[in-house]
Amino acid sequence: MTGLAGSRAADAKRQAPVASRFSGFAVQSAISLVSTALIGVALVPAFIQAFLDKPLYYPEAAFTLGNFARLFTDPEIVRTFGTTGLFCLIVVSFSMVVGTTLAVLVGRTDLPGRGALLGVLLWPLFISPQIIGFGAILAYGPYGLITAYIGDAIGVPRPWNLYSVVGIAIISGIAAAPVTMLYCIGAARQQDPNHDAAARVVGAGPGRILRRINLPLMRPALVFALIMNIVSALEALAIPLILGNPVGIRLLTTMIYDLSFDRGTPNYGLVAALALMLMALVAVLFLFQRLVLAGSHRFVSLGSRAGQLRTLPLGRWRWPIFAGVVVYILIAIAALLGCVALRAVTQVFSPDISPFEVLTLANFETILSIDVYVRSITNTLVLAVVGAAAGTALIAGVALVAQRSDYPLRRAVDGIAQLPRVIPGFIVGLGVFYASVFIPGASVLRNTIWLLFVAYLIRFLSSGYGIVSPALLQISADFDRAAKSVGAGWTTTMRRIVLPLSKPALLSCFILLMILIIKEYASAVFLMAPGAEVMGATMLALWLQGQTGPVAALAVLQVALTAVMTVAAKQLLGVKLHG
């Protein structure tokens, strides 16, 4: 040991470099500042606009409460509240009932082929809701394929009316059900098997275990899913717009859309006031969730995870229930996507003409030759790669500050990262649009994809944070402390220890952001401009103009891109995007 002891004196001089006591403070501040600024961009201008009588870039714009007053006096708007309420009620009920049932069936019972079924049932998560809307029109609309077949079969032409509040709501419910499933299946599976075992030991049968143990233990997930469903119903734009607008059914969101596009001079003040009100509603919901779940430690599964969750046997209902799930998949997923795919490869789409007589690739040729389509594809791809990379970097930084630092404001940073979850997508778009008008110099970004880039960073902050932050919690804080104790500063520790260890989560985050950006339309509709088109918003705009063929081709392309990415992520990288 003489060697070790001998060089010790020399070491004293070569100790870890003494820098600031607040190691990493500057980096942490920068990350906090950027994330705060981004959220500010989305919210502040919209907030100011709500209290101005003219667009906020007019110098003579003055303070007013008139926008809010109009919200409650304008008969058209008041009528919209009623419709929106009914719409939300149906969407949420449908999504909760279908989603929870499917989650329990797939997650806890011995349903045949439940692994494969789960994959298919979750598909709509990765598909833009507007594509589901297109599919609904093509399949179940007044001139839809299936409407006609069923009508012929039972001798009643047009046996249902898709273009009704109920019809729109059910289609939106189909789009929302996978979200419920996703929240509930985790809760259904993660339960401590000992709860089950304990109940079995005291003599409870499978049905009773489900009713008395499993479902009550899922309560936090159910409440959370309920709130998220209400939020997503409130902010739903594409499906109500495609299905409702042609027949004059208006929701809060479609009204905001109309107000900002259809009339000669957009009434930004009213739009902002409506948007604020929508967000206030969402905020109240989250407050409510906090209250309801105040004692949720009661639901935390404690103790060892040893042992297997026993699946609940369905007995003789096994195959009938399986058939039911398959029928649901056929009606709610396969028919919609099938019709979109058919539309993409046909010249005309009508129940009177067999699709196989009018097969064509013209729609694809169109989207690959006409500028607008090509640009929207390339822009989307560029934004997907660049946006996902930048978004992942931002999210990683935010998560590290919030979870892995003693930054004084880390709780606030955590809150900020959760905030975009409650900001409806098109409000983010509006906010960024207002900001581009409001912030000096920001106007150079207008009509470029970089405004969209900013909007996407804000919009998907929570989504990525939701993957990275729990993954960070899985990495023992002892690793950081060990690095600190051997002389590493915060930045070094994060870069060399924590980030490399969170690589799988960061990869998942990157892929998820790519998928979300490819299917995004809500925040893009207000930011789209000639030269800055993206697939989601282009599809919506062109559908409303009646260009259904090319739109269907774009939709197929979008779904294919997403599918390739999901499969590649799973197969090549072993990335898990859910479950």
Partner 1 sequence: MASVAVANLSRHFGRVVALDDISFSVADGEFLTLLGPSGCGKSTTLAALAGLDRPTKGTIRIGDRILFDGASGVFVDAQFRNLGLMFQSYALWPHMTVAQNLDFTLELRRIRGAEAKRRIDETLSLVDMIDFADRYPGELSGGQQQRVALARTLVYQPEILLLDEPLSNLDAKLRDRARIWLGELQKRTGVTTVYVTHDQAEALALSDRIIVMNKGRIAQIGTPTEIYETPSDVFVADFVGASNLIDAELALQPGGQATARLPNGEILRVNPGPSGPVTLAIRPEKIVIGEDGGPPDNRVVAKVLAKSYLGARNLYVIGIGGQRLRVETNAGIDATEMPIRLPMESIRVYPRA
Q: How far apart are CA 384 and CA 397, in angstroms?
A: 19
Binds partner 1 by CB under 8 A, chosen from 131, 179, 276, 497: 497
Q: How far apart are CA 196 and CA 310, in angstroms?
A: 8
Whether 191 and 107 have beta carbons less than 8 Å apart is answered as no
DSSP secondary structure letter of residue 355: G
Q: How far apart are CA 94 and CA 183, in angstroms?
A: 15
Phi, psi (degrees; rounded to nearest 5) at 529:
-150, 160
Site for partner 1 contains 478 (CB under 8 A): yes
User: Buried b / exposed e across 217-237, counting CB within 10 Å, b at 16+?
Assistant: bbebbbbbbbbbbbbbbbbbb
Site for partner 1 contains 501 (CB under 8 A): yes
**Spacing of C-alpha 374 from chain mean position:** 26
Residue 207 or 487: the one with the smaller Cβ distance to partner 1 is 487
Site for partner 1 contains 187 (CB under 8 A): no
Site for partner 1 contains 574 (CB under 8 A): no
Q: How far apart are CA 391 and CA 464, in angstroms?
A: 8
**Candidates 8-16, 118-126, 384-392, 547-555; binding stretch for partner 1 (CB under 8 A):** 8-16
- Please state the three-class secondary structure of 239-255 as a single string: HHHHHHHHHCCCCHHHH
Token reading at 450:
């970089």
Site for partner 1 contains 304 (CB under 8 A): no
Site for partner 1 in 435-464 (CB under 8 A): none
**Candidates 78-86, 113-121, 213-221, 480-488; binding stretch for partner 1 (CB under 8 A):** 480-488
Whether 456 and 520 have beta carbons less than 8 Å apart is answered as yes
**Candidates 63-71, 258-266, 485-493, 558-566; binding stretch for partner 1 (CB under 8 A):** 485-493
Phi, psi (degrees; rounded to nearest 5) at 486:
-90, 5
- Of 29, 47, 180, 185, nearest to 103 (Cα)? 185
Binds partner 1 by CB under 8 A, chosen from 1, 306, 444, 572: 1
Site for partner 1 contains 16 (CB under 8 A): yes
Token reading at 369:
């030759």
The nearest distance, CB 390 to partner 1, in angstroms, is 24
Sequence-ordered alpha helix ranges (H) in 109-128: 114-122
Site for partner 1 contains 411 (CB under 8 A): no
| Binding residues for partner 1, total number by CB under 8 A | 30
**Candidates 14-22, 157-165, 219-227, 282-290; binding stretch for partner 1 (CB under 8 A):** 14-22
Residue 14 or 263: the one with the smaller Cβ distance to partner 1 is 14
Residue 464 or 489: the one with the smaller Cβ distance to partner 1 is 489
The nearest distance, CB 481 to partner 1, in angstroms, is 5
517 sits in the region (left: phi over 0; alpha: psi -120 to 50; else beta) called: alpha
Binds partner 1 by CB under 8 A, chosen from 159, 353, 481, 560: 481
Binds partner 1 by CB under 8 A, chosen from 484, 570, 576, 578: 484
The nearest distance, CB 474 to partner 1, in angstroms, is 12
The nearest distance, CB 27 to partner 1, in angstroms, is 15
Site for partner 1 contains 495 (CB under 8 A): no
The nearest distance, CB 472 to partner 1, in angstroms, is 15
The nearest distance, CB 30 to partner 1, in angstroms, is 20
User: Buried b / exposed e across 545-556, counting CB within 10 Å, b at 16+?
Assistant: eebbbbbbbbbb
Could you tell me how many residues make up the chain?
579
Binds partner 1 by CB under 8 A, chosen from 313, 476, 560, 564: 476
- Of 492, 446, 562, nearest to 24 (Cα)? 492
Site for partner 1 contains 3 (CB under 8 A): yes
CA 498 to each of CA 30, 413, 450: distance values in angstroms, whole numbers, following the listed order: 19, 18, 30
Site for partner 1 contains 474 (CB under 8 A): no
Site for partner 1 contains 2 (CB under 8 A): no
The nearest distance, CB 363 to partner 1, in angstroms, is 48
**Candidates 17-25, 66-74, 114-122, 327-335; binding stretch for partner 1 (CB under 8 A):** 17-25
**Candidates 12-20, 127-135, 137-145, 425-433; binding stretch for partner 1 (CB under 8 A):** 12-20
List the x/- string, 346-385, binding to partner 1 by CB under 8 A. Answer: ----------------------------------------
Site for partner 1 contains 485 (CB under 8 A): yes
DSSP secondary structure letter of residue 359: B
Residue 109 in 3-state DSSP? strand
Q: How far apart are CA 34 and CA 449, in angstroms?
A: 19
DSSP secondary structure letter of residue 310: P
The nearest distance, CB 293 to partner 1, in angstroms, is 23
Q: What is the CB neighbour count within 10 angstroms for residue 323?
A: 10
**Candidates 236-244, 433-441, 487-495, 529-537; binding stretch for partner 1 (CB under 8 A):** 487-495
Residue with tokens 């275990």: 209
Site for partner 1 contains 479 (CB under 8 A): yes
Amino acid, single-letter form, for residue 132: I
Helix (H) or strand (E) holding 541: helix 535-544
Token reading at 528:
């789209």
Residue 15 or 308: the one with the smaller Cβ distance to partner 1 is 15
Q: What does the binding site for partner 1 look like in residue numbers (CB under 8 A)?
A: 1, 3-5, 7-8, 11, 14-16, 18, 21, 23, 476, 478-479, 481-489, 492, 496-497, 500-501
